[in-house]
């Protein structure tokens, strides 16, 4: 009853779907891969590109300089941080890399991370382990499958130089306890990186409340921005300790033939050359997300996801694979009858979009759980109960017919 009461409440689903034109033709449950741009964001992207076509790239940048800078104030409002703590980067992975590779390690230092860590991050840890003799330590999960905060606390010693976790993993619906991890990290004065690629725009994220020192964001997922865009938050108090692995004349200033000065804000992690149309559109996407109320977005996504999980749990041969105490808008499952790829193809034939999580993206977690790949259905606030019913109906008929 509570579910239906909320989903039929004052949330303006009519507006959400009118401003998401693809809703007329498809059911998009691939928002953790790349969501659908709303009309205002798409218009902003095309407007900028059209202007570049008409007057030139540099000239368009000059014309839109105020709008391009809007992204910093909008992102600061989104995350509850300072404007000078935000950098625009071409994607979340590169944003994360620029921060992570700025940390200096010595032989014997430890990096603590989670079993559900994103594969690209693990590769980076292992590369630095080979270079500098760093030890990469996977903190055990608790009985619910999320990072065990008691184990994390007990693993803290003077060799731990970094705590780095993925907030919401790519291959499941769990939400790691980021705030509690932040309390442990801050109490021990250990820098804390949070990969929030799948949580910003999905959950209400406040970096002051969480206590992370670094946070990375992608534009294409729950923020509903264009691909090829990302953001990096680096806390001001940590900036002077971090020298980016790459610099250019935007990140630093050449003051003599032998000297340069690194800029004092987080833009030291940026490049001079940027995807300006994407930057402009991402700023619009952030403002658009803020216009909906982030708490209401999270509530709607969670309730839609609970509804989908409940209905999938009643389908013969379907096994939900989400872990965690708190489960988000990403729903993962397997089937006794069909492999995930075959399920994805069958759903696609009915204009239903999902994705597959497999390979190295969640390798450490999947190996421990004996999983090779899963179907990933990820909902957003513009999705509906009717779409969930259609999704489950098509899935059931597909499984029965095979």
Q: What is the mean pLDDT of residues 257-282?
A: 97
Q: For residue 234, which of 275, 203, 263 has the smallest C-alpha distance?
A: 263
pLDDT at 1: 36
Q: Is 373 helix (H, G, I), strand (E, B) or coil?
A: strand
pLDDT at 4 over 70: no
The one-character DSSP state at 336 is S
CA distances from 294 to 41, 115, 201, 287 (A): 17, 28, 7, 11
Q: Looking at domain 42-291, which of 3.30.70.260, 3.30.420.40, 3.40.640.10, 3.60.15.10 is its CATH number? A: 3.40.640.10
Return d(Cα 100, Cα 181) in angstroms, integer.
Answer: 18
Task: Strands of 134-288 (E only): list them.
Answer: 135-139, 160-166, 192-195, 214-218, 230-234, 252-256, 259-262
Distance CA 334, CA 342 (A): 11
pLDDT tens-digit readout, 338-388: 999 999 999 999 999 999 998 778 999 999 999 999 999 999 999 999 999
CATH architecture of the domain 2-30+293-401 equals: Alpha-Beta Complex (3.90)
Q: pTM of the entire structure?
A: 0.95
Kindly provide the b/e burial profile for residues 246-267, where b requires at least 16 CB atoms within 10 angstroms of the residue's own CB: ebeeebeeeeeeeeeeebebbb
Residue 289's closest CA among 228, 222, 370, 227?
A: 222
Instruction: Identify whether the C-beta of residue 312 lies closer than 8 Å to the C-beta of residue 333.
Output: yes
pLDDT in tens, 117-142: 999 999 999 999 999 999 999 999 99
Average pLDDT of the chain to the nearest whole number: 96
Q: With the C-alpha atoms ordered 297, 301, 302, 307, is the resulting torsion angle positive or negative?
A: positive
> Is the separation of the CB atoms in 244 and 89 below 8 Å?
no
Q: What is the pLDDT of residue 360?
A: 78
Share of the chain above pLDDT 90, in %: 96
Q: Where in the sequence of the chain do the CATH 3.90.1150.10 domains occur?
A: 2-30+293-401
Is residue 2 very low, low, confident or very high in pLDDT (cuts 50, 70, 90)?
Answer: very low
Helix or strand or coil: residue 84? helix
Digit-coded pLDDT (tens) for 151-199:
999 999 999 999 999 999 999 999 999 999 999 999 999 999 999 999 9
The angle that helices 276-292 and 39-55 make with each other, rounded to 10 degrees, is: 160
36 closest CA partner among 386, 389, 390, 381: 381
Residue 5 has pLDDT above 50, yes or no: no
| Alpha-carbon gap, residue 35 to 372, rounded angstroms | 25
What angle, 0 to 180 degrees and rounded to 10, lies between the N-to-C axes of helices 340-348 and 385-401?
A: 120
pLDDT in tens, 59-111: 999 999 999 999 999 999 999 999 999 999 999 999 999 999 999 999 999 99
Instruction: For CATH 3.40.640.10, list the domain ranges present in the chain.
Output: 42-291
| Cβ atoms < 10 Å from Cβ of 56 | 12
Least confidently predicted of 1-10, 103-112, 114-123, 271-280: 1-10
């Amino acid at each position: 009853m509570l579910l239906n009461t909320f989903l039929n409440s004052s949330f303006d689903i009519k507006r959400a779907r009118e401003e998401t034109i693809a809703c007329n033709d498809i059911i998009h449950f691939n928002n953790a891969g790349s969501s659908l741009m709303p009309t205002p964001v798409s218009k902003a992207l095309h407007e900028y590109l059209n202007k570049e076509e008409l007057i030139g790239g540099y000239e368009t940048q000059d014309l839109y300089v105020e709008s391009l800078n809007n992204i910093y104030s909008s992102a600061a409002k989104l995350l509850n941080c300072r404007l000078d703590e935000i950098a625009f980067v071409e994607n979340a992975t590169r944003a994360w890399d620029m921060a992570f590779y700025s940390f200096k390690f010595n032989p014997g230092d430890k990096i603590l991370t989670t079993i559900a860590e994103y594969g690209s991050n693990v590769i980076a840890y292992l590369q630095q382990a080979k270079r500098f003799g760093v030890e990469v330590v996977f903190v055990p999960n608790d009985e619910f499958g999320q990072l065990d905060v008691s184990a994390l606390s007990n693993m803290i010693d003077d060799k731990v130089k970094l705590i780095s976790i993925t907030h919401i993993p790519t291959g499941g619906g769990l939400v790691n306890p980021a705030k509690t991890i932040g309390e442990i990290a801050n109490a021990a004065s250990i820098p804390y990186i949070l990969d929030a690629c799948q949580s910003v725009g999905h959950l209400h994220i406040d970096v002051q409340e969480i206590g992370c020192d670094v946070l990375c964001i992608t534009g294409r997922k729950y923020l509903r921005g264009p691909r090829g865009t990302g953001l990096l938050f680096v806390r001001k108090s940590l900036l002077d300790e971090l020298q980016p692995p790459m610099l250019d004349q935007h990140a630093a200033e050449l003051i003599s033939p032998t000297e340069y000065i690194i800029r004092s804000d987080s833009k030291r992690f940026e490049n001079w050359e940027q995807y300006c149309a994407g930057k402009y559109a991402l700023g619009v996407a952030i403002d658009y997300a803020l216009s909906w109320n982030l708490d209401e977005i999270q509530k709607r996504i969670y309730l839609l996801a609970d509804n989908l999980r409940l209905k999938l749990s009643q389908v013969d041969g379907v096994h939900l694979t989400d872990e965690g105490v708190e489960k988000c808008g990403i729903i993962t499952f397997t089937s006794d009858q069909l492999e995930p790829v075959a399920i994805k193809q069958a759903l696609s034939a009915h204009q239903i979009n999902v994705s597959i999580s497999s390979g190295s993206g969640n390798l450490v977690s999947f190996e421990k759980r004996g999983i090779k790949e899963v179907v990933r259905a990820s909902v957003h606030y513009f999705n509906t109960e009717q779409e969930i019913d259609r999704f489950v109906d098509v899935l059931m008929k597909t499984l029965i017919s095979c």
